[in-house]
């Protein structure tokens, strides 16, 4: 299966892509599904999911959550993650039945790099 697991819509400041365009382009590219991971927000993902009428195409409601230790991707969530504390975010994701993934564990810019030893939380995340 072919998925893009890190797409932002215009609900993130870093993107100007409308949900309709995200869905159209992903299908045109031949993806089987996408995860919309807007920054600290799920409105874009919910909108893309609502627009999708194709039962053979999956839209994973997700978010890229900024925590006090770095960004965490929250996949398969149904409510916006409120906390910004790493451990509370990981707990919120788990409570929703979601999957947690460290977004950018090895960024070159130190102020954007994940700042907690991944080995200490490996039992709380799906992968890194």
Q: Digits of tens for pLDDT over the chain (128 positions)?
A: 999 999 999 999 999 999 999 999 999 999 999 999 999 999 999 999 999 999 999 999 999 999 999 999 999 999 999 999 999 999 999 999 999 999 988 888 887 889 999 999 999 999 75
| Residues 53 and 46 sit within 8 Å (Cβ to Cβ) | no
Distances in Å between the Cα of 74 and the Cα atoms of 28, 113, 115 are 26, 17, 18
Helix, strand, or coil (residue 31): coil
Q: Which domains does the chain have, with CATH numbers?
A: 3-120 (3.20.20.140)
> Considering the entire predicted model, what is its pTM?
0.94
């Amino acid at each position: 299966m072919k998925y893009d697991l890190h797409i932002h819509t215009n609900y993130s400041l870093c993107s100007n892509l409308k949900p309709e365009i995200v869905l159209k382009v992903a299908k045109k590219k031949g993806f089987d599904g996408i995860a919309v991971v807007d920054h600290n927000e799920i409105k874009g993902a919910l909108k893309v999911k609502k627009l999708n009428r194709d039962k053979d195409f999956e839209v994973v409601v997700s978010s890229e959550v900024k925590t006090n230790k770095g960004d965490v991707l929250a996949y398969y969530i149904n409510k916006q993650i409120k906390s910004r504390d790493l451990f509370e975010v990981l707990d919120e994701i788990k409570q929703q039945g979601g999957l947690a993934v460290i977004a950018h564990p090895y960024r070159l810019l130190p102020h954007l790099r994940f700042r907690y030893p991944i080995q200490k939380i490996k039992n709380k995340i799906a992968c890194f």
